[in-house]
Structure 1
Amino acid sequence: MQQCDIDPGQQLITLVRKGTRAKQPVPESADAFVWLRLHQEEMHGEVPRGRTQPVWWTLRRPRRPLNYPAAHRMFARANAAVGSDWTLHDLRHSAAARIARDPQLMLSDVQLVLGHAHLSTTEIYLTPDKDEVIAGVLALHARIAEQREKLVPPPPSPGYDPQALSVLFGRML
């Protein structure tokens, strides 16, 4: 990715698709551009400037463009330090799962962002994991209980003593 592929004003980055080699602008979060700006500031004066220069640079000296093999090695070192086995593709998978589950986005939108030729490939990201299902159902139960607490019982029919009904039936719903 080169500097000319970044458009912070529109929150877009232009990618080169792996299969077709076609260039495609895709939206990015504002946070991504904040991290990019912090990286640029850290590299200021240490790397060449210009629209055709790489966006990301290694932190180790001598500074080199952060290409796929360098990023892969960076992940290997981080995994060794923390005892994990994450990959660059795991980052893509996590982001894809997050945006695929957003109710405001159509799955075909997600397909376009991910560059999938077939919608069925994108559908893989709709499968929730067990912990997400449990958390979602527990949140549903909490919302139902909260709504139940907000219900105001209707007044008893004329002639009935509310306190007597409370003794007879317990708390009036």
Structure 2
Amino acid sequence: MFDALFAALKHHRDRALLAAWVSTGARAAELLSGTESDADPGEQLITVVRKGTRESQALPASPDTFVWLRLYQEESFQAGVPRGRDKPLWMTLRRPWRPLNYHAARAMLMRAQSLLGSNWTLHDLRHTASYRMAQDPHLPLTHVQWVLGHAHLSTTQIYLAAGLDEVIEGLKAFHARRATGWATPAVPAPGYKPESLDVLFGRGW
């Protein structure tokens, strides 16, 4: 679904934003408040101001984020968008030029999904990034905690839970094993009536 959503976007700015959200795990508002100086293509870092602590934190972003960001900046500068290290990193696509706000970014995402029949939210993109990081066996969970800005490791651990597909496949396998009778004891347990065990273990389903 993420690939389809990316393909539905029409502008380099929106592609850069989506790639940044899904690779950094930053909150939507944290990323939108950045300035041009907060993007460092050489180090592949984007600095955000954390919602809770109000501290600046440099977050690694994927290489394709900076490819789309460069394309967006070249396009916007040619159109006349003001440039400078203190200028907003994300701007509207039409005059009068204004910083892109949360509501406009949300509307952009909804428009891209109108033909897909999906209903992703901006916060879902952070969840996607979090889940991908947490599922990587080579990335310590404490690193993921730092990137996401979680105060407690227990908050980060929720992303270790099995995905929906895994749950469904696991339950299908469970029912398949039940159909072969693996859950039925070969010898009745002492003190239990056979008819009670028939009910308990599903004999005759």
TM-score normalised by length of structure 2? 0.61
Kindly indicate whether residue 109 of structure 2 is the aligned counterpart of residue 75 of structure 1. Answer: yes
Indicate which of 154, 162, 179 corresponds to 1:128: 162
Kindly indicate whether residue 57 of structure 2 is the aligned counterpart of residue 33 of structure 1. Answer: no
Kindly indicate whether residue 38 of structure 2 is the aligned counterpart of residue 5 of structure 1. Answer: yes
Give the aligned residue type for 2:128.
S
Determine the structure 1 residue equivalent to 2:144.
110
Give the aligned residue type for 1:39.
Y
Residue identity over aligned pairs, in percent, reads 63
Displacement after TM superposition at 1:130 (Å): 3.2
CA gap of 1:130–1:86, structure 2 versus 1, over 3 A, is closer
Give the aligned CA root-mean-square deviation in angstroms: 1.9
Determine the structure 1 residue equivalent to 2:50.
17
User: How many equivalent pairs are there?
Assistant: 135
Give the aligned residue type for 2:59.
V
Q: Deviations for 1:39-85, whole angstroms, at most 9, x for unmatched residues?
A: 11110232001000111122244432212121122223333343221
- Structure 1 alignment gaps of length 5 or more: 135-173
Q: 1-side partners of 2:118 and 2:95: how far apart?
A: 26
Q: Deviations for 1:136-166, whole angstroms, at most 9, x for unmatched residues?
A: xxxxxxxxxxxxxxxxxxxxxxxxxxxxxxx
Displacement after TM superposition at 1:98 (Å): 0.4
Q: 2-side partners of 1:29 and 1:17: how far apart?
A: 20
Displacement after TM superposition at 1:113 (Å): 0.2
Kindly indicate whether residue 97 of structure 2 is the aligned counterpart of residue 63 of structure 1. Answer: yes
CA gap of 1:82–1:62, structure 2 versus 1, over 3 A, is farther
- Structure 2 alignment gaps of length 5 or more: 1-33, 170-205
Quick one: higher RCO (CA 8 Å, sep 6+), 1 or 2? 2
Indicate which of 153, 156, 163 corresponds to 1:119: 153
Indicate which of 18, 38, 42 corresponds to 2:75: 42
TM-score normalised by length of structure 1? 0.72
CA gap of 1:61–1:81, structure 2 versus 1, over 3 A, is farther
